[in-house]
Chains A and B, each alone.
Chain A
Amino acid sequence: GAGVSQTPSNKVTEKGKYVELRCDPISGHTALYWYRQSLGQGPEFLIYFQGTGAADDSGLPNDRFFAVRPEGSVSTLKIQRTERGDSAVYLCASSVRRDSPLHFGNGTRLTVT
């Protein structure tokens, strides 16, 4: 079956612009996570959804970052007024339940120029 799908795979934007990154989880997976992986680092947790609600957004670095999952399936990570420091690979993962292993997508590589 299809895995976690993230679009676009690459995104280049100018400093100050707004970007949206999309994640399509595996069908039926209720839990969805966003992580950010900077060059040479391990992934860092951003936010966790259980269904439609954000159960834990403690990893979002500041109020320029926001994520939604309005129907409990697709999620969008939104970044306002992008900065060069936001350049990273943004990973999405989903799981059947909160206590199940994560399935990761291939990520979106964001470059802010």
Chain B
Amino acid sequence: AQSVTQLGSHVSVSEGALVLLRCNYSSSVPPYLFWYVQYPNQGLQLLLKYTSAATLVKGINGFEAEFKKSETSFHLTKPSAHMSDAAEYFCAVSDVISGTSYGKLTFGQGTILTVHP
């Protein structure tokens, strides 16, 4: 069975500081990995995804994540935080069937990012 662990349910940074949200996964096969963002009272929005191509993945809003197989990690980073980045972030892993992912995702518990002025 797959699982996802997000270290830190709450992360607080100052505006302009580095954002680092941690995600570790377990999977018996090479996974597809995703980061989603959820703003209050809104649906989940895809930030970026890893699908076995380049290990450093760039997403929307200046976010990027690096797949490290040896560490089973997929941490999310952004060099400089903006106030608008305040939201809840979810890491997720997908079953890979016949080389093609589909949307049966296993999510982590989420990390709430707070950005201080």
A residues whose Cβ falls under 8 Å from a Cβ of B: 3-4, 31, 33, 35, 40-45, 48, 56, 59, 91, 93, 95, 98-99, 101-107
Contact = CB atoms under 8 A, between A and B. Distances in A.
Contact of A41 (B46, B49, B92, B109): B109
Nearest to B98: A99
Across the A-B interface, the 6 shortest Cβ-Cβ residue pairs:
A42-B107, A104-B43, A98-B102, A99-B100, A104-B44, A102-B103
Interface residues of B, number: 23
Contacts of A93: 43-44, 103
Interface of B: 4, 9, 36, 41-46, 49, 90, 92, 100-110
Contacts of A35: 105
B35 to A, nearest CB: 12
B104 A42 contact: no
23 contacts: A31-B102, A31-B103, A33-B103, A33-B104, A35-B105, A42-B92, A42-B109, A43-B44, A43-B105, A44-B107, A45-B104, A45-B105, A48-B102, A91-B43, A93-B103, A95-B103, A98-B102, A98-B103, A101-B46, A102-B105, A103-B43, A106-B43, A107-B43
Nearest to B90: A42
